[in-house]
Amino acid sequence: MTRFRLALATLGCLAVWAAASAHHSIAMFDDNKPAILTGTVQAYHWRNPHAMLVLDVDTVKNIKGETEPDQAGVWSIELHSTAIMMRRGFTKDYFKPGDKVTVTGGRMRDGSKMIRLFNGKKADGTAFYGDDFRPESTGNNQTPSN
């Protein structure tokens, strides 16, 4: 019976390890060197493990507000899982091709044109937030009224 318990405990540990290692790290993003992107939505991919927003970016600025003209072009914006996004008020139709948006997020450390979303605004002024960067700790993605 001791071998059975040991085997069961080993299988349990392996199951927990496999689940924990299935999610990738965010270490590829440098949150200390964010980019501010203004552009037009090309595509919005509502899928797991992360929804993605693809922008045709006209203007890229660094955190100091300095324009980086050589960085214009197509950028990918990593959002969160669809389950978390739904809890924050997003839907599969939240962004549409042609929408104008400005987004801020941590850049890829390797210099590729991709960020992890901190926050953004639609052309109508609607604010949205990524991961855990919204001003409130629970609820939807809208700015709280205080």
pTM of the model: 0.75
pLDDT at 7 over 70: no
Going by pLDDT thresholds of 50, 70 and 90, the confidence category of residue 139 is very low
Query: 29-129 has which CATH code?
Result: 2.40.50.140
Supply the pLDDT for residue 38.
98
Q: How confident is residue 21, by pLDDT bands cut at 50, 70 and 90?
A: very low
What's the whole-number mean pLDDT along residues 37-63?
96
* Residue 130 pLDDT level (bands cut at 50, 70, 90): confident
Is pLDDT above 80 for 19? Answer: no
Give the three-state DSSP class for 83. helix
- Looking at the chain, the whole-number percentage of residues with pLDDT higher than 70 is 73
Confidence band, pLDDT 50/70/90 cuts, at residue 9: low
Among 66, 78, 75, CA closest to 37: 75
Is the separation of the CB atoms in 128 and 102 below 8 Å? no
Start-to-end C-alpha separation, the chain: 61
